[in-house]
């Protein structure tokens, strides 16, 4: 159990069933229309799965975000491969009083790259691929007591999430 950051399939993005994200998709598209932008729809076909478990503490990463003026990096719940000049918030029937924040992957990538330039990211972290690859690295790094492993993990996580979202045209969410 725990919190994961995962990619969303096109089927689940459009799905009106439990666990589907049709309500979020519709809310995003309404807001995109208000902004004069075309609706977002994930492409057809299979996409490699993105999945990482949010195991390390975020305190050091949150401080790094504050130091670099990119607190917005921590505020989204849904990441989409659309350029958004500001976050979109969407209320759902399930959580009407707690709207979800939707961020654009291009903007998240820029913020994550800014942080990545200030944190030593080992080659194995930058090259991590496949579900839970960073999570596995973190457990190995924690065992070796690598200084700053928590912050390195989160910096790499946001880099990988934004790149995956943009490369494969699929949303990434917390689950």
Residues whose CB falls within 8 Å of the CB of residue 23, separated by 6 or more in sequence, listed in order: 16, 90, 92, 93, 94
C-alpha span between 34 and 28 (Å, rounded):
10
CA distances from 27 to 74, 92, 137 (A): 21, 9, 36
Q: Which residue segment(s) compose the domain that 161 sits in?
A: 4-174
Output phi, psi for 92, to 5 deg. -120, 160
67-110: per-residue pLDDT in tens? Answer: 999 999 999 999 999 999 999 999 888 887 889 999 999 999 99
Residues whose CB falls within 8 Å of the CB of residue 127, separated by 6 or more in sequence, listed in order: none
- Using a 10 angstrom Cβ sphere, with 0-12 exposed, 13-18 middle and 19 or more buried, the burial of residue 17 is exposed
Residue 143: the pLDDT is 55
Overall domain count for the chain = 1
pTM recorded for the entire structure? 0.93
Weakly modelled stretches of the chain, pLDDT under 50: none
Output phi, psi for 65, to 5 deg. -60, -45
Residue 144: the pLDDT is 65
Task: Give the length of the chain.
Answer: 175
């Amino acid at each position: 159990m725990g919190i994961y950051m995962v990619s969303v399939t096109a089927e689940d993005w459009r799905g009106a069933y439990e666990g589907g994200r049709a309500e979020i998709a519709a809310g995003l598209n309404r807001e995109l229309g208000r902004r004069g932008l075309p609706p977002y729809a994930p492409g057809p076909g299979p996409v490699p799965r993105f999945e990482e478990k949010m195991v390390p503490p975020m305190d050091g990463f949150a401080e790094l975000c504050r130091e670099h003026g990119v607190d917005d990096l921590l505020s989204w719940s849904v990441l989409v491969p659309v350029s958004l000049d500001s976050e979109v918030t969407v209320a759902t029937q399930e959580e009407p009083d707690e709207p979800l924040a939707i961020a654009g992957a291009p903007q998240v990538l820029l913020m994550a790259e800014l942080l990545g330039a200030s944190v030593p990211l080992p080659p194995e972290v930058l090259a991590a691929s496949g579900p839970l690859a960073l999570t596995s690295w973190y457990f190995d790094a924690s065992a070796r007591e690598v200084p700053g492993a928590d912050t390195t993990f989160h910096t790499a996580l946001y880099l990988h999430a934004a790149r995956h979202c943009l490369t494969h045209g699929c949303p990434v969410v917390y689950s």
